[in-house]
Amino acid sequence: MNEAECKSLEGTPPLRSIYFYLTEGCNLACRHCWIAPQFDESGIMPAIPVDIFQKVIDEAMPLGLTDVKLTGGEPLMHPRFAELLEIIRRKNLGVTIETNGLLCTPEVAADIARLPRRFVSVSIDGSDKATHEWMRGVPGCFEKAKYAINNLVEAGVRPQIITTLVRRNAGQIEEIVSLAEHLGASSVKFNIVLPTGRGKKLSETAEMLSIGELIRIGEYVENILRAKTRLQVFFDIPYAFRSLGGIACGRGCSRCNILNIIGVIASGEYALCGIGYHVKDLVFGLAGTDSLDRIWKENGVLNTLRSGIPDELEGICSKCLMKYTCQGSCLAQNFYRSKNIWGPFWFCDMAYSEGLFPKTRIR
pLDDT of residue 70: 98
* Residue 2 confidence (pLDDT) above 60: no
pLDDT of residue 41: 83
Q: Are 178 and 228 in contact (CB under 8 A)?
A: no
Q: 39: which DSSP letter? A: E
* Residue 308 confidence (pLDDT) above 60: yes
Q: Are 306 and 256 in contact (CB under 8 A)?
A: no
Reported as a single tens digit per residue, the pLDDT across 176-233 is 999 999 999 999 999 999 999 999 999 999 999 999 999 999 999 999 999 999 999 9
CA atoms within 13 A on the CB side of 252: 24
pLDDT of residue 175: 98
Instruction: Provide the residue ranges of all domains of the chain, joining segments of one domain with +.
Output: 13-259
List Cα–Cα distances, 328 to 20, 58, 231, in angstroms: 23, 31, 29
pLDDT of residue 249: 65
Query: What are the residues whose beta carbons fall under 8 Å from the beta carbon of 240, sequence distance 6 or more?
Result: 320, 321, 322, 326, 348, 357, 358, 361
Separation of alpha carbons 142 and 136, rounded Å: 9
Reported as a single tens digit per residue, the pLDDT across 40-86 is 888 788 899 999 999 999 999 999 999 999 998 899 999 999 999 99
- Measure the N-to-C terminal CA separation of the chain; round to a whole number of Å: 39
Query: What are the residues whose beta carbons fall under 8 Å from the beta carbon of 111, sequence distance 6 or more?
Result: 81, 82, 85
Q: 205: which DSSP letter? A: S
Cα–chain-centroid distance for residue 210?
22
Please compute the mean of the pLDDT values over residues 88-116 and round it to a whole number. Answer: 97
List Cα–Cα distances, 249 to 99, 120, 218, 310, in angstroms: 28, 23, 16, 23
In whole numbers, what is the pLDDT of the chain averaged over residues?
93
Separation of alpha carbons 95 and 25, rounded Å: 21
* Residue 7 confidence (pLDDT) above 50: no
pTM score: 0.94
B/e letters for 140-170, b = 16+ CB within 10 Å, e = fewer, are: ebbebbbbbbbbbbebebbbbbbbbbbeebe
CATH number for the segment(s) 13-259: 3.20.20.70
pLDDT of residue 10: 56
DSSP-assigned letters across all residues of 64-131: T--EEEEESS-GGGSTTHHHHHHHHHHTT-EEEEEE-STT--HHHHHHHHTSSSEEEEEE---SSHHH
Query: What are the residues whose beta carbons fall under 8 Å from the beta carbon of 191, sequence distance 6 or more?
Result: 162, 163, 164, 165, 236
